[in-house]
Amino acid sequence: MSNKIHDLDTPCLLLDRDRLETNLERMKKVATSRSTLLRPHLKTSKSLEVASLALKASGGGATVSTLKEAEVLGRSGAVDLLYAVAISPQKLKRVAGLRAEGIDLKVVVDNVEMAEHLSAFYEQTGQTIPTLIELDLDGHRSGVRPEDSIQLLAIGRELDRYQQLRGVMAHAGESYALSDPADLQHSADNEAKSACAAAQTLCNSGLPCPIVSIGSTPTALMGTSYEGVTELRAGVFMFFDLVQSGVGVCRKDDIALSVLSTVISTNPDASRLVIDAGWMALSRDRGTASQAEDYGYGQVCLPDGIILTDVLVLDAQQEHGIIGVRRGSSACLPKLSIGDQLRILPNHACATAAQHGAYHVINKQAEVEAIWPRFSGW
Amino acid sequence: MSNKIHDLDTPCLLLDRDRLETNLERMKKVATSRSTLLRPHLKTSKSLEVASLALKASGGGATVSTLKEAEVLGRSGAVDLLYAVAISPQKLKRVAGLRAEGIDLKVVVDNVEMAEHLSAFYEQTGQTIPTLIELDLDGHRSGVRPEDSIQLLAIGRELDRYQQLRGVMAHAGESYALSDPADLQHSADNEAKSACAAAQTLCNSGLPCPIVSIGSTPTALMGTSYEGVTELRAGVFMFFDLVQSGVGVCRKDDIALSVLSTVISTNPDASRLVIDAGWMALSRDRGTASQAEDYGYGQVCLPDGIILTDVLVLDAQQEHGIIGVRRGSSACLPKLSIGDQLRILPNHACATAAQHGAYHVINKQAEVEAIWPRFSGW
């Protein structure tokens, strides 16, 4: 097999291995400096090989967003897993099955009703499922408000009936919408403080709370050490993307993921190029649309990774990406021919990666070293 | 295996077989009434079973958007295929390989440069590749302007050097942004008229143009018979979606595709429900955002398919869908418990289907009859 990206069928997904390893090393140092464990989120990558590197950085723990991830990665050696999406009754059997295989899979709940389902499941099967209480920091999603001690204690007591309570989990989802460093630090502090306050509420009532889990890529990177936090969760930092660059927690040159594409049409007046990467290859994610700099469907780079400033994927159809220059910019489109390649940095690594079945892993010389399959589904 | 959707792991994709067949029958009648062939687009479904029903409706011809579709579907019997995305030089070898297997795969080009590549390929290999000239009706994508007879004839002559010219292809992409019936009819007329005018330009210069291919779901359904058009292309009509309902070419009750999900969190104040279908299951497509009625990330239905008017997926994270009532509506959220199921109608069937590995095919009683795998990639 050729190792030249020039010989790859396009569109396809490239993963820069050096950047991935540098990004992992950076987060590992952050966790060490904050005196917490690292529980990297494997939902962005959905890959055995990336998970293996992430587990090396974490020392063993990881986070998943689907039971499929828990099954595939748990059976490949990731045995300390947190499924960080609120569990429902129907899923308990699969969770218990994985636990019976030796995978220490923990779940989260945010209400008494589900805690009672967990008790009933124990009464029927004799199986305990270690459970964290999900906290809601910003009112945006699921979770218990950390200051709602009545609800917190009601869930905690129900879970403790059969020794299923293991801790609390907080996620500062609102941090993705920030970009000012002071705001990010405030969000990170709030995440840590809220999680620790909720843990204290449980402990004050004699309930156990060994795990205090916080995190998101921005708050993990912008926060500081906080007494009581036991672990940091973060996922997208492994690959980074334009949204994280807009938040301010990475440079564009840290982005490890890109979509390789081929020019299929050139407009005679040179104001537009069409590539064979549309939203099917780039995803429909427009995460930078609400940021200070909107990158359309992605930032255009030359095949060697050199960024073409202000040259963007302005629009996308299913299999067509429309490339042009950012409005108001004096940049020029590169002079390219049909068949020339371009690389696109993604708005959101999780969404773009999900459109592909494999990573073409490249080295510093942009040579293909390996193909790492991705899995998908639930 | 249980045939109850209640027993399915969620999120998962449901396909209503009766609606699919009704939608195919409707388009078949349209093509007959317009005295054209039907060349259904298989890019939405990417499924052998759906393709088989579509080919029955078309009589044999079909359209694809990737070479992967051509390979998978061509090798399963779809031997009259049009690859409707502008070809690039690197892809010619795969095209020729499929043609050597007996699949009559046709390609499209929009410039002399690529037509010359096709000539060079013939000179090197002796293989002709039947080619259509892509027309650009709205300046949005790739294609030659139909009135640009100089460019049209230059491409046509180059393709005719080795008998590779087969016709013209037009796609009224702008029709997806319309909703007024008169505008849609005008767009449909323009598509047909432009394609026929371009064909006439070629014929007047003695060039062959046996295929005059037009279409999109809205223009196929809203257009009328037009002398000279030989075939209609359309794809999303098989499943339909909220965008097409907003365009006005289907009712919500025609939508054959939905995502089955489970309630995982209920807000005590009842203004919000959280389901386990986030954008990973629904896609990031927000196609209705620019229409008169914005459906967020989807229209919420009960498990039996009953539409809950004004109850929408207002926001989505990777594995969380946030359900609430449309702003300004007096509708109420249904009273649901953790573990209850809901179905979500998609904004854009192509994008939502692409997030899943299979269709759970249901009958009128919402019982699961079959599982039809989907393929993906390029």
**pLDDT tens per residue across all 378 residues of chain B:** 679 999 999 999 999 999 999 999 999 999 999 999 999 999 999 999 999 999 999 999 999 999 999 999 999 999 999 999 999 999 999 999 999 999 999 999 999 999 999 999 999 999 999 999 999 998 777 899 999 999 999 999 999 999 999 999 999 988 999 999 999 999 999 999 999 999 999 999 999 999 999 999 999 999 988 999 999 999 999 999 999 999 999 999 999 999 999 999 997 666 899 999 999 999 999 999 999 999 999 999 999 999 999 999 999 999 999 999 999 999 999 999 999 999 999 999 999 999 999 999 999 999 999 999 999 999
Q: Residue A50: helix, strand or coil by DSSP?
A: helix
> ipTM > 0.95?
yes
* Secondary structure element (H or E) that encloses residue B62, with its range: strand B61-64
Spatial strand order of the sheet with A211-214 comes to A37-40, A231-234, A211-214, A165-169, A131-134, A104-109, A80-83, A61-64
Query: Chain B closest CA to A114's CA: distance in Å?
Result: 7
B113-136 burial string, b = 16+ CB within 10 Å, else e?
bbbbbbbebbeeeebbbbbbbbbb
- Contact flag B378-A12 (C-beta cutoff 8 Å): yes
Q: Do the two domains A5-12+256-373 and A34-238 of this chain adopt the same fold?
A: no
- Contact flag A338-B117 (C-beta cutoff 8 Å): yes
State how far the Cα of B277 lies from the Cα of B323, in Å rounded to an integer: 10
- According to DSSP, residue B262 is labeled E
Please, which residues have CB within 8 angstroms of residue A306's CB and are 6 or more apart in sequence? none
The identity of residue A211, as a single letter, is I
Q: Which residue has the tokens 């630090």?
A: A185
Chain A residues with beta carbon closer than 8 angstroms to that of B264? 85-88, 142
Domain ranges of chain B: 5-12+256-373, 34-239
State how far the Cα of A132 lies from the Cα of A153, in Å rounded to an integer: 13
Chain A residues with beta carbon closer than 8 angstroms to that of B318? 43, 65, 350
What DSSP line would sit under B135-152, residue for residue?
Answer: B-SSSSSSSB-TT-HHHH
Q: Residue B193: helix, strand or coil by DSSP?
A: helix
| CATH match of B5-12+256-373 with 2.40.37.20 | yes
Residue A329 Ramachandran class (φ > 0 left, ψ -120 to 50 alpha, else beta): beta
Q: What is the chain A residue with the closest CA to B283?
A: A284
- Contact flag B9-A339 (C-beta cutoff 8 Å): no
For B197-206, what is each residue's pLDDT tens digit? 999 999 999 9
Nearest to B276 among A88, A317, A351 (CB): A88
Chain A residues with beta carbon closer than 8 angstroms to that of B337? 113
Please, which residues have CB within 8 angstroms of residue A87's CB and are 6 or more apart in sequence? A95, A107, A108, A109, A114, A118, A131, B264
Query: Chain B closest CA to A43's CA: distance in Å?
Result: 9
CATH architecture of B34-239: Alpha-Beta Barrel (3.20)
B62, B51 in Cβ contact below 8 A?
Answer: yes
- Contact flag B141-A85 (C-beta cutoff 8 Å): no
Q: What is the chain B residue with the closest CA to A13?
A: B377
State how far the Cα of B332 lies from the Cα of B325, in Å rounded to an integer: 7
Nearest to B378 among A11, A89, A265 (CB): A11
Nearest to A111 among B65, B338, B355 (CB): B338
Please, which residues have CB within 8 angstroms of residue B214's CB and are 6 or more apart in sequence? B169, B170, B171, B172, B191, B192, B195, B223, B229, B231, B232, B233
- Contact flag B141-A317 (C-beta cutoff 8 Å): yes
Please, which residues have CB within 8 angstroms of residue A216's CB and are 6 or more apart in sequence? A171, A172, A173, A175, A176, A191, A233, A234
Q: Which two tokens stand for residue A45?
A: 């990558």
Q: Strands A273-275, A321-325: parallel, antiparallel or unpaired by DSSP?
A: antiparallel
| CATH match of A34-238 with 3.20.20.10 | yes
Nearest to B274 among A86, A265, A315 (CB): A86
Chain A residues with beta carbon closer than 8 angstroms to that of B317? 141, 173
In a structure prediction context, what are the per-residue pLDDT tens digits for chain A, which is 378 residues long? Answer: 679 999 999 999 999 999 999 999 999 999 999 999 999 999 999 999 999 999 999 999 999 999 999 999 999 999 999 999 999 999 999 999 999 999 999 999 999 999 999 999 999 999 999 999 999 998 777 899 999 999 999 999 999 999 999 999 999 988 999 999 999 999 999 999 999 999 999 999 999 999 999 999 999 999 988 899 999 999 999 999 999 999 999 999 999 999 999 999 997 666 899 999 999 999 999 999 999 999 999 999 999 999 999 999 999 999 999 999 999 999 999 999 999 999 999 999 999 999 999 999 999 999 999 999 999 999
Query: Chain A closest CA to B142's CA: distance in Å?
Result: 6
